[in-house]
Amino acid sequence: MVEHATHPTVLDSGQRHIGTVYAKALLGAAAKAGLTEQVLAELDSFVVDVLERMPKLEATLASPNVPPEAKVRLLDRAFADSMSPVLLKFLKVASKHRRLDSLHAIHRAVHDLYNEATGRVDVFVRTAEPLTDEMRGDLAARLEAQLGRRVNLRATLDEGLIGGIVIRVGDTVYDGSVAQQLRRLRDETLDRTAQSLSQSLERFEANP
């Protein structure tokens, strides 16, 4: 069996598009049943606790060699008791359409769409030192005031920043890190010094 090469940086725009289409359908069905929060939590758990812990199950579900009927039986046996019917039906439909290989994209798209619908925004924060709870609260409050939306703060540690903070909202990055400032200081100083050197070389001449 061919193993699927998965790489965290792979971004397939085609898959993302498929993910958005299925995510819309899932959110619509969940909203109709009045179970949006529950379905979302279950999908999170399904992706994080099941798929990521059991790569073989994921490979089976994604494999085109396994017939869809077998996948449906597998899903029924494993989750019929524990999963809400909306999500289970959705997984079966996705299986019949041979789209179970796009589950990660669907998961991401569901979150993006839900955030958009509820006025939330994911904010990725990188700092050189761990954020305290107090700092987190303060940062979230100030970002919410600034952006006018509720904020999901996702913090990561990056010692390469030396100090300061890098905030990413959507495609925009606010870089207030010490590393960036040092880089800029070096570039500007080099530029200006080279300029003053070429303008008046005699100024730098040592007196004999």
Partner 1 sequence: MRFNTDEIASVLQQEIEQFDSQVDVREVGTVIEIGDGIARVYGLSGVMSGEMVEFPNGVQGQAFNLEENSVGIIILGDYLGINEGDEVRALGRLLSVPVGDAVVGRVLDPLGNPLDGKGPVDASQRRPVEVIATGVAQRKPVSQPLQTGIKAVDAMTPIGRGQRELIIGDRKTGKTAIAIDAIVNQKTSGVKCFYVAIGQKDSSVAGLIAQLEQHGAMDYTTVIVSGASTPAPLQYIAPYAGTAMAEHFMFHGGHALIVYDDLTRQAQAYRQLSLLMRRPPGREAYPGDVFYCHSRLLERSAKLSDELGGGSLTSLPIIETLEGEVSAYIPTNVISITDGQIYLQPDLFFAGQRPAMNAGISVSRVGGAAQVKAMKKVAGGLRLDLAAFRELEAFAQLGTELDAATQGRLDRGYRMVELLKQPQYQPMHVVDQVLSIYAGTRGYLDQVPVSEVRAWEEAFLKFIHEQRQELWRSLDEKKDLTNEIEAEIKAALSAFQAQYANRAK
Q: Could you give the CA distance from residue 139 to residue 125 in angstroms, rounded to a whole number?
A: 10
Burial 72-83 (b: 16+ CB within 10 A, else e): beebeeebeeeb
Question: Which residues from 159-198 bind partner 1, rule CB under 8 A?
Answer: 168, 170-176, 180-181, 184-185, 188-189, 192-196, 198
Please tell me whether residue 2 binds partner 1 under the rule CB under 8 A: no
205 binds partner 1 (CB under 8 A): yes
Contact between 28 and partner 1 by CB under 8 A: the answer reads no
Nearer to partner 1, 49 or 188 (CB): 188
Q: Does 17 bind partner 1 (CB under 8 A)?
A: yes
Distance from C-alpha of 208 to C-alpha of 204, rounded to nearest angstrom = 12
Between 2 and 10, name the residue whose CB sits nearer to partner 1: 10
- Rounded least distance, CB 35 to partner 1, Å: 30
Packing angle, helices 85-96 and 36-45, rounded to 10: 60
Beta carbon of residue 191, minimum distance to partner 1 (angstroms, whole number)? 9
The Cα 98–Cα 35 span in angstroms is 25
116 binds partner 1 (CB under 8 A): no
Structure tokens at 56: 């073989």
Does 12 bind partner 1 (CB under 8 A)? Our answer is: yes
CA nearest neighbour of 135 among 178, 167, 104:
167
CB of 156 to partner 1, least distance (A): 14
Q: Does 34 bind partner 1 (CB under 8 A)?
A: no
3 binds partner 1 (CB under 8 A): no
Q: What residues contact residue 65 under an 8 Å CB cut-off, 6+ apart?
A: 1
- Which is closer to partner 1, CB of 38 or CB of 181? 181
Three-state DSSP class for 190?
A: helix
Phi and psi for 168 in degrees, rounded to 5? -120, 120
Q: Does the protein bind partner 1 through residue 97 (CB under 8 A)?
A: no
- Cβ proximity of 71 and 100 under 8 Å: yes
Q: Measured from the CB of residue 61, what is the shortest distance to partner 1 in angstroms?
A: 24
Interface with partner 1 (CB under 8 A), residue total 37
Spatial distance between the Cα atoms of 189 and 169, rounded to a whole number of angstroms = 31
Q: Which residues bind partner 1 (CB under 8 A)?
A: 7-14, 16-17, 168, 170-176, 180-181, 184-185, 188-189, 192-196, 198, 201, 203-208
